[in-house]
Amino acid sequence: MLKNEIKHFFLNYDEPHFIRLEKLSILTQLCSRKNAETILKELIEYGRDIDSVIARRAIKCIGDIATMVNVAADKTIRALMNIVKDSSQ
């Protein structure tokens, strides 16, 4: 039901911190083969967030998706490598 409404759970910069953390958890739970790529793109951006707590949680969510959605495993590894590569530059 909510899997078609994932964009409502994308983070907004002006939201309270606890809302942003909860949305990350919800996005992870809603992830499926159908929407994994869209969610991963968002999580990659959040993995670069200036707020280190949000960035770490987004990276954890990417790892969680890798174990939940088999099809997404390769994409999640590439996503994590891109975040590491970007942070080292």
Residues 31-84 have pLDDT tens digits of 988 898 899 999 999 998 999 999 999 999 998 988 888 766 777 788 888 888
DSSP string, the chain: -GGGGGGGGS--TTS-HHHHHHHHHHHHHH--TTTHHHHHHHHHHHTT-SSHHHHHHHHHHHHHHHHH-GGGHHHHHHHHHHHHHHHT-
Say what the pTM is. Answer: 0.83
CA distance 10 to 24: 8
Domain ranges of the chain: 15-87
Query: Residue 1 above 90 pLDDT?
Result: no
